Chain A
Amino acid sequence: MSVQKMIELVGVRKSFGKVEVLKDITLNVARGSVVALIGPSGSGKSTLLRSVNLLTVPDQGFIRVGEQALDFTRGHRLPGDRELSAFRARTGMVFQTFNLFPHMSVEENVMAGPVKVLRMPKADARTLAHELLAKVGLADKATARPDTLSGGQRQRVAIARALAMKPEVMLFDEATSALDPELVGEVLAVIRSLAAEGMTMLLVTHEMAFARDVADRVVFMRDGCVVEEGPARQVIETPSQPATRAFLSHFHNGLGPS
């Protein structure tokens, strides 16, 4: 294997009630690469992303992240709380709505994972939190309350909080969709710098120009299926499938030259 796979999904299926939201998805993310997940609303992008860290437990399929693998094919025992938690602790996730803990200060948010989950001494966790806050440009906000921050600042805290677990991969679910346009750039800049450091990332995004410029590969989903997958520039600029073309035609004004 020339490129090592960091995330590997094989035959993943998920239904909510009678609706099959993920239909036999197979997806790989190479170590150190960035994969962007695009597609229309309701196509199952979030569900797929949430399957990677088991926030949504699939009905069927095989999921591996780094060294950890879980098999959901029929006949396998469902993982318990302990296994699920251990699995999730190795991945970082950033949500559209930030989901910072409102009753904790910024630094406490970042310390929460290391202190509670990794049992890191508080002093060490605080040092780590300050390093990470500096990294996302918020060194001066350590003691602030989340509700005093702008959306862009909150999302950067959320990224720092996820990084504090020293994750093997980072998952982003429309990390900039809830932001005012002028705040999008500061968050994308942080994601870009993580990509430059070689962080393995899977991100759901509606920022096509960003996907084209930062992602190595782009995956287009529709109705719970992967319709097209390939090098980022190729999928976004010269898609081969009509469905991909139709979807991307909505974005052309946002796709200026890079």
Chain B
Amino acid sequence: MQYQWDFGFLLQYKGLIGVGVLYTLAFTIGTAVSGLVVGCMIALARLSNMRVATAVVTGVIEIFRCTPVLVQLVWVYYALPILTGIELSPSVAAFITLTLYGASFFGEIIRGGIISVDMGQWDAGRALGMRRHQLMGDVILPQAFRRMVPPLVNQTVLQLKNTSLLSVLAVPDLLYQGQLITSASYRPLETYTMIAVIYFIILFPLTRFAHRLEARMSH
């Protein structure tokens, strides 16, 4: 092939790329945190013996787990405002969607961690007279947390990958900036290669970290 590689021109777009990296990271971290908070509530609702809460939450989780994120994003941005009458900016729509999508997976990880703790631990805490929240906070969660960390990190990696879908709503994430640069420079090969490399540089250490944690937990 005669193609002349030339990455040099990308330097002039470093501002755009920087903004893209920032958006991608901010959305990942922001929705990981909000997703964890909502996920915790989902887990507690599903573990409670309130039938209605459990049924509603389970239904919502299934919707988010069994439809593509891309469809959810488009639905929340274009369809939800028709129902509610409230216009959402692309960023807000994206934040809501990724939060709920992440939360439906985080919630299951947290619930799994909690129910993996031996029933005898609940008995022991209760027998001492601990209230429900003390039992959860001082006995169950500290033990569950160790087991939850590796899958939570893995889910966060997926969450970062999913932020690339924000480009369809014109949220200036890394991929969207790549599209901008491509349309200005007509050099998709270098541009998209660089975009992929940046994702890799961010994600590779994170996945290694998750693997290491998993290995450490398994013995």
Name A residues whose Cβ lies closer than 8 Å to a Cβ of B. Answer: 53, 55, 81-82, 84-93, 95, 97-103, 112-113, 116-117, 158, 161-162, 165
Contacts and interface: CB of A to CB of B under 8 A. Distances in A.
B138 A81 contact: no
Given A99-B121, A101-B121, A161 B128 contact: yes
Interface stretch (B2-10, B31-39, B129-137, B185-193): B129-137
A229 B126 CA distance: 30
Indicate the member of B125, B128, B134 with the most A CB atoms within 10 Å.
Answer: B128
B128 A165 contact: yes
Contacts of A90: 129
Contact of A86 (B120, B129, B139): B129
B121 to A, nearest CB: 6
Given A55-B127, A95-B123, 9 more contacts: A86-B129, A89-B128, A95-B127, A101-B139, A113-B129, A116-B134, A117-B130, A162-B127, A162-B128
A250 to B, nearest CB: 27
Contact of B120 (A81, A95, A103, A116): A95
B130 A99 contact: no
Contacts of B139: 101, 112
A238 to B, nearest CB: 35
Given A97-B120, A99-B118, A116-B138, A82 B131 contact: yes
Contacts of B120: 95, 97-99
A120 to B, nearest CB: 12
B179 to A, nearest CB: 48
B124 interface: yes
Main secondary structure of the interface of B (DSSP, over half): helix
Given A101-B139, A103-B142, A112-B138, A81 B131 contact: yes
A53 B130 CA distance: 13
A88 B123 contact: no
Interface of B: 118, 120-121, 123-132, 134, 138-139, 142-143
A102 B197 CA distance: 43
Contacts of B123: 55, 93, 95, 99
A101 B131 contact: no
A93 B127 CA distance: 6
Nearest to A56: B123
B19 to A, nearest CB: 43
A124 B134 CA distance: 20
A129 B172 CA distance: 59
A88 B127 contact: yes
A200 to B, nearest CB: 16
B127 A102 contact: no
Contact of A112 (B128, B131, B132, B143): B128
B138 A85 contact: no
Nearest to B127: A93
A97 B118 CA distance: 11
21 contacts: A81-B131, A81-B132, A82-B131, A87-B129, A88-B126, A89-B128, A91-B127, A98-B120, A99-B121, A99-B124, A101-B121, A101-B124, A102-B143, A112-B128, A113-B129, A113-B130, A116-B130, A161-B124, A161-B128, A162-B127, A165-B129
A182 B132 CA distance: 38
Contacts of B138: 112, 116
Contacts of A102: 143
Nearest to A115: B138
A55 B126 contact: yes
Nearest to B124: A99
